[in-house]
Amino acid sequence: MTIKYQDELSLAVQAARKAGRLIRDKLYRHRVTETKSCLSDLVTEVDREAEGCIVRLLKQYFPGHAIIGEEQQGNCTGEPGGNMTWYVDPLDGTTNFVFGVPFCAVSIALADHGVPVLGVVHDPLREETFTAVQGAGARLNGSTISADKSIATLERSLLVTGYPGNIANRPRMHQINYRHVIDCCNNLRALGSAALELAYVAGGRLTGFWEVSLRPWDVAAGMVLVQEAGGTVSNLVGQPLQIAEDVDIVATNGLIQQELLNCLSWRNELPTVGVS
């Protein structure tokens, strides 16, 4: 069977592994840490170097494609939502990287007319490469993977979440009653890399994931992985997930999707504060 986007997938894997070698070599040895939107939104020279090497490869082989990268140093081209758009997160888990916590990844996705169709999440510290192409399943280092279909209830589920790097988005995070979620599930984690957490849902290592106020490059690859592994992805009110400037996401093995949505009890509006 001929897999669509095979050339794009091969190049994305090559680019992710090349960036991954840079990340692995610079762990504990990076020199510059700066902030972006706030003190907790970090960036290093490794983020920028890794994005540069990925973007150069994509431009070389697919010059007509749009490229949207997290660091956006003038490397990115084209308009998002066109025929073909790449979403590049060169180092997802920068805070972990800065503090020496070995949990981060390279995330590269391709969207066709706004719909993610290809995803690569590469963990350079464990040499694990998760890949998926629309209609062709999900794989880890070439072997087929699937979401965990042995857990069908929230009380048995291992969940994972994350916290917005930009503190301005934290009021939205606080709409979730974390105590209620913890009481309803087996246990809750926050590992620090949305792309890798989504890959773990796809691989059956985690049962479900949610996070608010992410960016498209955080989730585009992971959502393809989860869907192709037989899981379910939606926004926080259960609607199909759209790749937009800001993304709220729930991803599970599929069996607990509605129960998790009910537990999160998401409201689209922020509560009124300071009004008597």
In the chain, alpha helices (H): 6-26, 45-61, 94-99, 170-173, 178-184, 194-202, 216-228, 257-264
Cα 99 to Cα 82: distance, rounded to the nearest angstrom: 37
List the binding residues for Mg(2+): 70, 89, 91-92, 218
What pLDDT digit, counting tens, does each position of 160-190 carry?
999 887 777 888 888 999 999 999 999 999 9
List the binding residues: 70, 89, 91-92, 218
Q: The pTM is what?
A: 0.90
Instruction: Indicate if the pLDDT at residue 2 is higher than 80.
Output: no
| pLDDT for position 102 | 94
Coil, strand or helix at 92: strand
Which residues, including other chains, have CB under 8 Å from residue 21's CB and lie 6 or more apart?
124
The mean-pLDDT minimum among 96-100, 123-127, 196-200, 254-258 falls in: 96-100
Neighbours of 50 (CB within 10 A): 28
| pLDDT for position 165 | 73
Instruction: Indicate if the pLDDT at residue 243 is higher than 70.
Output: yes
- Mean predicted confidence (pLDDT) in 131-147: 98
Instruction: Indicate if the pLDDT at residue 248 is higher than 90.
Output: yes
What pLDDT digit, counting tens, does each position of 21-42 carry?
999 998 876 555 554 544 444 5
Domains in the chain, start-ordered, CATH in brackets?
Answer: 6-145 (3.30.540.10), 154-264 (3.40.190.80)
Instruction: Indicate if the pLDDT at residue 86 is higher than 70.
Output: yes
Tokens of 65: 């494609």
Nearest in space to 135 (alpha carbons), one of 9, 260, 268: 9
